[in-house]
Amino acid sequence: MKINILFTLFPVLLSACTGVGHYKVDQTAENKADFHFVGIPVLAGAIGSSFPLTAKYSLTAGHVAKMMMVKVKAYNPLCDVAIIYHDNTGRALPKLETADKGEKLSLYGYNAYTAMPTSSTGVLKEFGWWDKPGTSCLVGLSDAGGVPGMSGGPVYAQDGAVIGVFTATHPKRNQTMFVPYQEIAGWVTKEIKS
């Protein structure tokens, strides 16, 4: 895997609140992502997304878990990802697999401006470092659209498997960023077994 770009943490965190690209209201997102909010949706508050991992846990972005009133099982030490307690009894759990450069993908979540289920499509263009090469989180960059509120939502491959967790946008590059599942797979397995 070729590493093409270097990110610094500060601009990435600032860009997490900016929409990029094309996205649309999509009712199918309700079956793929869960809605989390604090305050009054649309009027005043914060919105984030998550998705089922097991019958009692979900995955979301770390910054979503910190803002929302959810019980957190674990924060990833390097990536902006958290495992939260969530009752997913009876829900279909997604298959999780490795993200590959060049594959078509879809992002799902909720739009913070409208509180509506939202999706976008694109291609995984490249991988880059969240902060420091080799010692921080490797992220996937895509040309799919993204908007505040979608953070924490699933990134699906064309075959229907989840390949990552949407975390931020990069407005200068007009790209969305997500944590590829392979970056957190070992941590997820360890945390759900503990």
Mean pLDDT of 141-145: 95
* pLDDT, position 13: 33
Range among 33-42, 111-120, 153-162 with highest mean pLDDT value: 153-162
Determine contact, residues 177/141, Cβ cutoff 8 Å: yes
Q: Residue 147 — φ and ψ, nearest 5°?
A: -145, 150
Question: How far, in Å, CA of 30 to CA of 97, rounded?
Answer: 21
Give the residue carrying structure tokens 């995955």. Answer: 59
Q: What is the pTM of this model?
A: 0.84
pLDDT of amino acid 132 = 72
CA neighbor of 5 nearest in space, from 80, 101, 82, 93: 101
Residue 15 has pLDDT above 50, yes or no: no
The share of the chain scoring above pLDDT 70, in percent, equals: 85
123-127 long-range contacts (CB < 8 A, ≥24 apart) are 124/99, 124/100, 124/163, 125/101, 125/175, 126/2, 126/4, 126/5, 126/101, 127/1, 127/2, 127/3, 127/4, 127/101, 127/180
Whether residue 12 is predicted with pLDDT greater than 50 in this model: the reply is: no
Tokens of 152: 């924490």
Instruction: Write phi, then psi, for 47 (nearest 5 degrees).
Output: -125, 140
Instruction: Extract the tokens encoding 37.
Output: 């909010």
- What amino acid is encoded at 125 in this protein? K
Rounded to whole angstroms, how far apart are CA atoms 127 and 178?
10
**Per-residue pLDDT tens digits for 144-177:** 999 999 999 999 999 999 999 999 988 888 899 9
Secondary structure of residue 173 in the 3-state scheme: coil
Cα 166-127-27 angle, rounded to 5 deg: 25
Q: What is residue 157's predicted lDDT score, i.e. its pLDDT?
A: 97
pLDDT digits (tens, 9 = 90+) for 43-69: 556 789 999 999 999 999 999 999 888
What is the C-alpha separation between 63 and 95, in angstroms, rounded?
A: 24
| Contact indicator for 157, 105 with CB cutoff of 8 Å | yes
User: What residue ranges do the domains of the chain occupy?
Assistant: 3-193
The Cα 64–Cα 81 span in angstroms is 9
Taking domain 3-193, whether its CATH number is 2.40.10.120 is answered by yes
Q: What's the pLDDT score for residue 50?
A: 95
